[in-house]
């Protein structure tokens, strides 16, 4: 009986997680950890735009360099916020300062991709919209009343939501967002921004589990070994049985 309950809970868990997302529609994102160019672009965005507030305390610069193919030179250039290559990605902003400015703690992002999921992150980064009632003038459709400003607005531009009002089943009227209208264009087109966010999320997924890349390579060697082993054992079998009829 205990087993059944545990199994049931395990199956329901992801669904519960989704429900807590407030029923927002999540856009799918293609994750490709083999794409070094995308990972490098994501790392650049992450270091330039996110690390000033968030930490990624469990990620080491030199490990990242090796994993995603940055040269030592490139790595040094990126590392203006860290002193030594072996250092983790920590931030200058202290906890109490963050509390003062943002009214909340700023979460570490090392494993956020595992906690929230890639699709959630991808959607979140593309659903900031103008909202005068919020302290930073923006709100987020995926994370309602988020304490984070739209730090990428220069790239994406600023957008206004398009609402649709519905009152299904005679219930109270409810407004939901069906799309956006750009009011101030950014440096990127929508497609460019979407691609940049895919790269950023790709990097965050890698960061959440750097060993995944290694596992892929190990997997390939294991398969190769099995193929070679099969050939050898087949040859042996033939040899042993050749005189037996
Ligand atoms: C100006 C400071 C600041 C910068 C820069 C910033 N953030 Fe944030 N971020 C915050 C704050 C504050 C929160 C907490 C929001 C809350 O709980 O309401 C947050 C929350 C988040 C969350 C939600 C975490 C969770 O699971 O609750 C994600 C994901 C996130 N940020 C990603 C990013 C990414 C990616 C970047 C870089 C593109 C970035 N942030 C840059 C301040 C910042």
What CATH number should be reported for the domain holding residue 100?
1.10.760.10
Categorize the per-residue pLDDT at 207 as very low, low, confident or very high, splitting at 50, 70 and 90. Answer: very high
Mean pLDDT of 144-172: 88
8 Å CB contact between 17 and 191: no
The answer on 229 and 146 residing in a single domain is no
The answer on 202 and 145 residing in a single domain is yes
Angle of CA points 205, 115, 60, to nearest 5°: 45
The answer on 192 and 91 residing in a single domain is yes
Q: Is 196 a residue whose pLDDT tops 80? A: yes
Residue written as tokens 């003038």?
137
- pLDDT for 21 equals 46
The answer on 59 and 99 residing in a single domain is yes
Residue written as tokens 């398969």?
223
- Is any ligand 1 atom within 6 A of the Cβ of residue 58? no
The answer on 225 and 127 residing in a single domain is no
The answer on 137 and 190 residing in a single domain is yes
The answer on 96 and 25 residing in a single domain is yes
For 106-120, the pLDDT digits (tens) are 889 999 999 999 999
Closest C-alpha residue for ligand 1 atom 36: 50
Whose CA is closest to 72, among 82, 81, 85? 85
- Is any ligand 1 atom within 6 A of the Cβ of residue 152? yes
Mean pLDDT of 123-141: 95
The answer on 179 and 227 residing in a single domain is no
Q: Is 15 a residue whose pLDDT tops 60? A: no
Q: Is 238 a residue whose pLDDT tops 50? A: yes
- Global pTM exceeds 0.85: no
Which structural domain, as residue segments, surrounds residue 168?
A: 2-209
Q: What is the mean pLDDT of the chain?
A: 85
Whose CA is closest to 29, among 194, 141, 193, 188? 194
Closest C-alpha residue for ligand 1 atom 37: 50
The answer on 66 and 130 residing in a single domain is yes
- pLDDT for 95 equals 64
Query: In this structure, what token pair is assigned to residue 233?
Result: 């054992």
Categorize the per-residue pLDDT at 153 as very low, low, confident or very high, splitting at 50, 70 and 90. Answer: very high
Residues whose CB is less than 8 angstroms from the CB of residue 144 and which lie 6 or more positions away in sequence, other chains included? 22
The answer on 117 and 8 residing in a single domain is yes
Domains contained in the chain, number: 2
């Amino acid at each position: 009986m205990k087993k059944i309950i545990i199994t049931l809970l395990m199956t329901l868990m992801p669904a519960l997680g989704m429900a807590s997302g407030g029923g927002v529609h999540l856009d799918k994102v293609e994750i490709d950890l083999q794409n070094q160019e995308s990972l490098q672009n994501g790392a650049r965005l992450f270091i330039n735009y996110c690390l000033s507030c968030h930490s990624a305390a469990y990620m080491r610069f030199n490990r990242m360099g090796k994993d995603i193919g940055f040269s030592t030179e490139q790595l040094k250039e990126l590392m203006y916020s860290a002193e030594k290559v072996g250092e983790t990605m920590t931030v200058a902003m202290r906890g109490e300062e963050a509390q003062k400015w943002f009214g909340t703690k700023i979460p570490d992002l090392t494993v956020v991709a595992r906690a929230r999921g890639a699709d959630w992150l991808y959607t979140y980064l593309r659903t900031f919209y103008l909202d005068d009632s919020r302290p930073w003038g923006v709100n987020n459709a995926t994370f309602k009343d988020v304490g984070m400003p739209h730090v990428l607005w220069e790239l994406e531009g600023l957008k206004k939501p398009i609402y649709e009002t519905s009152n299904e089943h005679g219930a109270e009227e409810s407004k939901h967002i069906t799309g956006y209208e750009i009011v101030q264009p950014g440096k990127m087109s929508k497609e460019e921004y979407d691609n940049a966010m895919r790269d950023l999320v790709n990097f965050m997924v890698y960061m959440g589990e750097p060993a995944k890349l290694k596992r892929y390579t190990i997997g390939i060697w294991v398969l190769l070994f099995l193929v070679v082993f099969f050939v050898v054992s087949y040859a042996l079998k033939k040899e042993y049985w050749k005189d037996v009829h």
